[in-house]
Chain A
Amino acid sequence: MQQVALAPFTVVGRLVIGVCTIVGALSLFVGRTLLACFTPRWHGGQIARQVVSIGFLSLPVVGLTAIFTGAALALNIYTGGGRFNAEQIVPQIVALGITRELAPVLVALMLSGRVATTIAAEIGAMRATEQIDAMRTLSTDPFRFLVAPRVLAGVATLPVLTGVADILGIGGGWLVSSLSLGFNPEAYARSTVAFLEAWDIQSGLIKAAAFGFIVTAMGAFHGYRATGGARGVGHAATQAMVWSGVLIFATDYLMTSWFTQT
């Protein structure tokens, strides 16, 4: 009887304790990761492997995403601009939208699907088969060997991937505008270059670096905490992707509002 009466309190209490526990665990994890990233020793071979795996091998998906997004955006801005008799604004708005927002966010989301899940599954499977314990007994810190290389690679390669997405996104807009919307290709290119400011591109790249940290850290965090065999590993992968996605959007909003303050 007493327990039924207390039920709402216990539910809330359990929820709050649960949230505090996981926030605490995440903070400790991030702290250890940062320590492993910024203090020697580093495992260069592992970092290089991860840069290739996260960076280079993500190029196909990034390229496709960027081109189609730029093209679709150009079509939409053309329609919208048409309502003000201002179709000629397509190059500028496409460039702005891509560099400031769409390239960093969409690349990060594509990678949260591809990279966060992979990292969570790899590390989770290693945890489940005692490979992480084995590594520690071989005098190698799993944070320096497994986690830090992935996080460093993420922070380093996401801006590069976003840069590629910037170019190809603008390219997609240029292509559809030149082929279907009657724009002069060189005029489009000139309008784009004249309009873009360095900060448009730079702010997008800074966002990308933050997103790179989020995607890889979430993958590593959930993988490291995975329990219970195959099911646990799958659960970790899903959690990694969901948390990445949510944090990307939240961080994007915070950074955008900070960048656009006048």
Chain B
Amino acid sequence: MRDNWIEPLVGAVVLIAAGVFLTYLLVAGDARPAPDGYSVTARFGQVGGLREGDDVRVAGVKVGRVERIALQPDTYLAVTYLEIAPQARLPRDSTARVTSDGLLGGTHVAIEPGADTAMLKAGGEIENTQGAVDLFGLIGQFINRPATAGEPAT
């Protein structure tokens, strides 16, 4: 019953607005990494709050993402598979650290490039790693530290 033209018009406006914002979200959030990146691994004693899909950054700039995290059964280390953009070549002695932007999120893998002239190849492994810092463990240790003479009890 096409008696009312304003309803379909508003409906179309709503759909268009939703489509536009969705596109913006996906572009600004850059949901998909470069399809022709290369994969490297890094093993950590503790990944903390790191999750699949989190950023891999060099100097704070995103160069890739965490594709997969798995537990290595014999060494009990967490193996992370990192998908790196092809333009980002990393020296073989780079260090990978699990760190975060703030208390409540933004966990990512920060890679500090090393000095080696040889670059990591696809399938290679970042040997130097530093796992996530257990912040609450540290705080707990500090709070529960037995009071020594001369220090005020907390």
Contact = CB atoms under 8 A, between A and B. Distances in A.
Contact of B25 (A56, A60, A164, A193): A193
Contacts of B24: 189
A190 interface: yes
B105 A60 contact: no
A178 to B, nearest CB: 11
A189 B28 contact: yes
A57 B15 CA distance: 11
Given A56-B11, A59-B10, A86 B29 contact: no
Contacts of B14: 59-60, 62-63, 164, 168
A186 B24 CA distance: 9
B31 A167 contact: no
Contacts of A92: 105
A252 to B, nearest CB: 23
Contacts of A189: 24-25, 28-29
A64 to B, nearest CB: 8
A57 B8 contact: yes
A92 B104 CA distance: 10
Interface residues of A, number: 25
A88 B106 CA distance: 10
A86 B102 CA distance: 9
Contacts, number: 67
B45 to A, nearest CB: 25
Interface string B23-54: 01110111100000000000000000000011
B10 A60 contact: yes
Interface in B39-88: 53-55
B22 interface: yes
Contact of B28 (A57, A164, A190): A190
A189 B21 CA distance: 10
A212 interface: no
A131 to B, nearest CB: 17
Contacts of A174: 21
B147 interface: no
Interface string A83-104: 0001011001000000000000
Nearest to A175: B21
Interface of A: 56-57, 59-60, 62-63, 86, 88-89, 92, 164, 167-168, 170-171, 174, 185-186, 189-195
Interface of B: 7-8, 10-11, 13-15, 17-18, 21-22, 24-26, 28-31, 53-55, 102-105
